[in-house]
A and B are shown apart, each in its own frame.
Chain A
Amino acid sequence: MELDLQTLMSIIFIYIFVENFVLHRFLGICPFLGVSRKMETALGMSMAVVFVMTMATLVAWLIFTYVLEPFDLMFLQTVAFILVIASLVQLVEIVMRKVSPTLYQGLGIFLPLITTNCAIMGVALLAVQEEFAFLEAVVFAIAASIGFCLALVIMAGVRERMATADLPSILQGPVVTLLTAGILSLAFMGFQGMLTL
């Protein structure tokens, strides 16, 4: 495996900005809208996602390369990855509860919540689809999760300010949230074509 620093750097840039998972691929919209009301919870969720996304992609990549590919069972990837992610999150939760109760309390409800997050699944699937090498896949997962954090934190910041704004009644509630998400997504489209792998 050749360590190509330039490729890794471009993977990082592309998946944080150009192909942001939330704002470009529209994955993980549920937590993006659900927990972005307060900066505090948004950060908690982000940390949990970084952790689980990296771990899940790592294990999913290993399973794919060393179990599914040799047996020519690539069509099983979706089912297998669901299994992997669900068990992994459970395992992480059990271990974390014993080893680091503080972190367990900090991540709290978010940990089991992101088991069913499509962004996690999407990253694992894309990592094998793009035929990344192991290191590339891990860097890809980290970059994708940081991209997720970025989107969530920006959204939380905007929504916290919006909470005190005097909005016309027609815009209140989910309407303005969805509008904000749309405008944010448009803004990120500005990165389009800046860099490709």
Chain B
Amino acid sequence: MVMLYAALTLGGIGVIFGILLSVAAKVFAVEVDERVEAINECLPGANCGACGYAGCSNFAEAVCKGEAEAGDCIPGGKETSQEIAKILGQDCAEQVPLVAVVYCIGDRNNARDSFVYHGSPSCKHAAQMAGGFKACAYGCLGMGDCVDACPFDAMEMGDHGLPEIDRDRCEGCGLCVKACPRDIIKTVPQDFQYYQVLCNSRDRGKSVLNACSVGCNACRACIKACPQEAIALDNNLAVIDMNKCDGCGECVAKCRQGTIRTLEEGKKAEKEAAASA
């Protein structure tokens, strides 16, 4: 008899709650945009946050609401933005694929340390300790905060204390840009293979020379040499305008520090140096 009561009571409670829940689900139904689901499907799903939203599903919602553009998913690239645009029934603007570049080549062989650092292995912490252990206040500390931040496994620490970027794997999401406490990493268009000044130092020429053998000391030789007038000095640092540069290479020949390299060559030179060492 007790068994029967028990079964009935529990069953009764279950049924009542079941009915209550299904009624509530009907009454309080929230209309979910089916496009959100569809867009979510074609996103990479890495939740990298490059679009500025917390995750891929938040981005999908924002796109449907019109807050974000179809092409805002950088890792997804062209294909994804076209798919999203198809779902939304709109044309999408051509989107330039980006790739991250480390604007510092002052590795352990080239750049001098000013003291020995024994703190926690994080660039963020090292940068706060007496202005960082490197003599150059703008140079890469090489603790690998950017490597940790990369969701695509495209970065690794090189042998000489500089991060290396695998250009094939890099999706240009820019998380490493945010992770770097010294703003050394920037994203540039993937098809831009020409020359860049791989230095971040705004120090005056003499202190750059003291700290690093490959830093830009603002000697202006490249500016005078450039036939396109694509190079300008910004706070003691030569900056090449990517829109004007046609890749003639005059500046590379004139640069006494060897700071200007093609993005591809920069990597090659590092590898060669590693091999010879």
Contacts and interface: CB of A to CB of B under 8 A. Distances in A.
Interface string A13-51: 000000000000000000000000000000000000000
A101 B9 CA distance: 35
A90 B22 CA distance: 10
A175 interface: no
Nearest to B25: A94
B9 A71 contact: yes
A99 B27 CA distance: 11
A87 B24 CA distance: 11
Interface string B18-40: 10110011001110000000000
Nearest to A90: B21
Given A90-B21, A94-B21, A97-B30, A71 B5 contact: yes
A67 interface: yes
A156 B147 CA distance: 26
Interface string A127-140: 00000000000000
A76 B120 contact: no
Contact of A164 (B9, B13, B25, B120): B120
B21 A79 contact: no
User: Interface on chain B toward A: helix, strand, loop, or mixed SS?
Assistant: helix
Interface in A35-84: 63, 67-68, 71-73, 75-76, 79-80, 83-84
A166 B5 CA distance: 61
Contacts of B6: 73, 75-76
Contact of A83 (B13, B24, B29, B119): B13
A95 B28 CA distance: 6
B5 A91 contact: no
B9 A97 contact: no
B269 interface: no
B6 to A, nearest CB: 6
Contact of A84 (B13, B18, B28): B13
B169 interface: no
Interface residues of B, number: 19
B24 A95 contact: yes
A184 to B, nearest CB: 24
B13 A166 contact: no
B24 A67 contact: no
A161 interface: no
Contact of A98 (B9, B30, B120): B30
B49 to A, nearest CB: 16
Contacts of A166: 119-120
B242 to A, nearest CB: 38
A87 B21 contact: yes
B20 A91 contact: yes
Contacts of A87: 17-18, 20-21
Output the residue of B20, B28, B29 with the most chain A CB within 10 A: B28
Contact of A67 (B13, B17, B18, B119): B13
A99 B24 CA distance: 12
Contacts of B28: 94-95, 97-99
Nearest to A167: B120
A117 B9 CA distance: 24
29 contacts: A63-B13, A67-B9, A67-B13, A68-B9, A71-B9, A73-B2, A73-B9, A76-B9, A76-B10, A83-B14, A83-B17, A84-B17, A87-B20, A87-B21, A90-B21, A91-B21, A91-B24, A94-B21, A94-B24, A94-B25, A95-B24, A95-B28, A97-B28, A97-B30, A98-B29, A99-B28, A164-B120, A164-B125, A166-B120
Given A75-B6, A87-B18, 19 more contacts: A63-B13, A67-B13, A73-B2, A73-B6, A76-B6, A80-B10, A83-B17, A84-B17, A87-B21, A90-B21, A91-B17, A91-B24, A94-B21, A94-B24, A95-B28, A98-B28, A98-B30, A101-B30, A164-B120
Interface of B: 2, 5-6, 9-10, 13-14, 17-18, 20-21, 24-25, 28-30, 119-120, 125
